[in-house]
Structure 1
């Protein structure tokens, strides 16, 4: 059966108007073209749909039954197309974005505010997930794009990434702590301190592991928590020294604590990721641009195939590797 959408629209118009002439005006066609379209539909479905006389056009029983169903289906198709068109105008609709919960309490709200100020009718729905789940959701098309924190940008056959910002790791401690008197703290100075940091779901573990090993801190007692506030509270209560990413993009540890940069420097990089070789919908592309604009404005494209080492702590099979030309991802041991 070869039936076109145009034939069905013409049939519904003739059934509604009970006139080939009035239906022809609606489609800006000749009456003979409308008659031919209806005749071709009748031939295709092998049913007589209208009883025609010189004075009137009436639906047959089969035509009346078909008209009730087809009219409703055409309305649903039109509504679906209108919704899709709205999603593709770049200024309205819903964009799905995935992020780990720590980013969602730091930089992400500012990105959302930036987007809302430019596109007030565009809704960005945030999905909080562990880091590996963010990458999987982007790969599988469950969200439009996502943000992850890595020791190097993301590269895989399915993902494209753009660097947003790089954050150094700091020691976080009470102002009365002996180490707080220094402008910076060397890693080996933490050998006698219990450490408190963020867990693998935030991407911090991958940044910590090489520097802990290089400074003989691998076997230190270490608490790993899911939120900056939880780390800060434990530090406030004297349970250890915090190790956190600290800059304007991350949640502040709090006014009761101080932070000191750790040397040699270890960093964590935040990137946006979307499906490689698949264009973002225009409204998602508009949101992506505003997320980039909400950072320092120095975002750069990640070169393809720039990495060659898997991160051992990453449960997902996405490659996380060192950028060869100057990307500050691995601390240098002294």
Structure 2
């Protein structure tokens, strides 16, 4: 029994007219009639009573229609689901991120992705960069979103967006009176920096930028994330550099000002990290949307 024969039978049963059924099926009438006869021969029953005036279902035909219609609907649903899954519209996507990324463009990306792909289950996991890299390699995460590169050759790093950095400080700091701040103006300030120094870490990028500006930062406190650094800065413990989107934290006493090196704003880069050998259709769809939305939000003068 062929699926096409079942489809032909259902349409003929609905139309009770071979000519109209053939037109609905975009076929000529003889092939439709032939397939119905072959189906009847295989079943060993007559499904239709035919004469020159009308076509009607036999009792066997009515029972067969009642039983086969749900089966056909299930097959058509499964076929559609398979095609949608192949296009990335159905499945599961596990996304890792550091907490600070939740205050940037990511919420808009997730909203848009869920609207476009409502049948893809999105699992979010807050994790440090090291935790994300390990989870991506072990296929527990589809993709990680981090603010610095790793040196692992097994991982693919894709630059997505350069976000402006801002100086975060308490309201009593004299620099809070400025509309924008040159990095060199922070030479005498105590810095709150991030742990985990490496040649590609956020902390080392800040230290390198300070060296370019002509000074070595005096570190008074280290912390694990930008939110903690911003909270300590708001208390007057020192100054720190945070992604501009973290101003949305709304911490009491937190003052943020754009930071420049000469005429160029300092920025921090956002990366997608994934295994090149484990790119699913869901991840392909997600990365495509991320690229489009990040490009639309790219600052004019990234560094």
Q: Is TM-score (shorter-chain normalized) higher than 0.5?
A: yes
Q: Are 2:241 and 1:244 equivalent residues in the alignment?
A: yes
Mapping for residues 133-152 of structure 1, pairs under 5 Å? 136=135, 148-152=145-149
Q: Which residue of 2 aligns with 1:165?
A: 162
Q: CA deviation at 1:15?
A: 3.3
Helix, strand or coil at the partner of 1:151: coil
Shift of residue 275 of structure 1? 6.7
**1:72: how far off?**
2.0
> Shift of the alpha carbon at 1:104?
1.9
Aligned to 2:201: 206
- 1:173 Cα shift? 2.5
Could you tell me how far 1:253 is from its partner in structure 2? 6.9
Task: Write the distance in 1 (CA, Å) between the matches of 2:185 and 2:168.
Answer: 13
Is residue 2:196 matched to residue 1:195? no
Match of 2:293 among 287, 290, 293: 290
Change (3 A) 1:34 1:161: same
Match of residue 223 from structure 1: 223
The normalised TM-score by structure 2 is 0.59
* 2:57 alignment partner in structure 1: 58
Render the CA deviation track for 1:165-216: whole Å, top value 9, x for unaligned: 1555x653325348879953699866xx58365x78xx9x932268779969
- Corresponding residue of 1:270: 270
CA RMSD of aligned residues (A): 5.5
- Residues of 2 paired with 1:49 and 1:139: CA distance? 57
Give the match for residue 5 of structure 2: 7
Instruction: Provide the rounded CA distance (Å) in 2 between the counterparts of 1:20 and 1:58.
Output: 12
Match of 2:102 in 1: 104
State the distance in 2 between where 1:49 and 1:283 align: 52
Q: Any idea what SS the aligned residue of 2:223 has?
A: strand
CA contact (8 A) 1:166 1:268 kept: yes
Paired residue secondary structure (1:50): coil
Residues 240-288 of structure 1: CA deviation (Å, up to 9, x unaligned): 22533244x553676643558599x997421245774856766873564
3-state DSSP of counterpart to 2:27: coil
Contact 1:167 1:267 (C-alpha < 8 Å) held by counterparts: yes
- Conserved? CA contact 2:207–2:217, under 8 Å: yes
- Separation (CA, whole Å) in 2 of partners of 1:158 and 1:57: 65
- Rounded Cα–Cα distance in structure 2 between residues aligned with 1:39 and 1:78: 23
CA 1:68–1:12 in 2, change beyond 3 Å: closer, same or farther? same
Q: Please give the alpha-carbon distance, in whole angstroms, between the structure 2 residues aligned to 1:9 and 1:141.
A: 42
**Separation in 2 of the partners of 1:73 and 1:141?**
36
Residues in 2 aligned to 1:4 and 1:159: alpha-carbon distance in whole angstroms: 46
Q: Paired residue for 1:322?
A: none
Contact 1:195 1:243 in 2 (8 A): yes
Aligned pair count?
A: 275
Whole-angstrom CA distance in 2 between matches of 1:297 and 1:194: 28
Stretches of structure 2 that go unaligned for 5 or more consecutive residues are none
Name the structure 1 match of 2:34.
36
- In 2, the alpha carbon distance for the partners of 1:183 and 1:162 equals 26
User: Which protein is richer in helix relative to its size?
Assistant: 2
